[in-house]
Amino acid sequence: MSPKSEKSHLVSYTLPKADMHTHISLALSPEQLLKKIQLNRTTLDLDFLLHKPRRYYSNLWSFHAETYEKLRGSVEAYELAIVTQTYLERIAKEGAIYAEISNSFRDPAVFEMQMDAVVEGIKAAKENTGIEARIVVTSLRDYGSSKAEKAAKHLVGYKNPYVTGFGLVGYERADSLQEYKTALNIAWHEAGLGIAPHVAEQDIVNAIDFFKCYP
C-alpha cells in the first residue's frame, strides 16, 4: 500500500453481519458507562474505561461475575430502551443486519417491564437503520434449575413476537446441565421457543450434557 493510499478498515462495513450473542444490560457504550460512573450508579470506576489491562480477566467467569454484579442494579427500564437502541444502531453502522440479544428472567413484573423497554429499543433501531433483532430470555444458573423452570413456565403464557429463544447463563460448574432438562423441555414444547443455553464456555462437560438433555 502506498503512503497516499487510504488505510483499509480492519472490518469490512459492506459485508452483512449477524451478532448472535449480546447481554443487552451490559452493552452500554463508553459514554453511557461514563455517565453512570459520574452519577455513582455503578461501582465500576473510571480506571475500567481508561486502562485496557483493567478490562482483562484471568477467565471468562471472573469477567462475567464482576461486570454483571456491578451493573445489574443500575439499569432501569428506560435505560434499557436507550441502551438497546444505541447498541443496535452502532452495530448496524458496522454492517450488522441482525442481532440476537438476551435479557435475564427475574421477578415477572420487573421482567415484563424490562422486556417492553427492550422491544421499544429494537423498534426504534429498526426504524432508523433497518436492523432486525430478536430476544433470547435467559435464566442464571447460579439461581438453580427451579428458577429456570419458573422462567420457562412464565414464557408459556408470555406472548411476545420478539422472543424467539430460551437460554441458560452463569457459572457452568455450579451444577449439572442435566438438571435443567425440565426447563428446556417446557421452553421447547410448551412455549415454542428455540433453545440457546451457554455450554462449554467454562466446562467442556456441559457440551456433552447438552446432547443428553436437549428436547
Active site residue 201: yes
Q: Which amino acid makes up residue 70? A: K
Q: Is 68 exposed, middle or buried (0-12, 13-18, 19+ CB in 10 A)?
A: middle
38 by DSSP, 3-state: which? helix
**Rounded to whole angstroms, what are the CA distances from 149 to 92, 105, 167, 190?**
34, 11, 11, 12
- Catalytic residue of the set 66, 112, 179, 201: 201
The grid cell for 122 is 429494537
How far apart (Å, rounded) are the C-alpha atoms in residues 105 and 155?
10
CA distance 101 to 97: 13
Give the separation between CA 100 and CA 187, rounded to whole angstroms.
Answer: 17
Residue numbers annotated as active site: 201
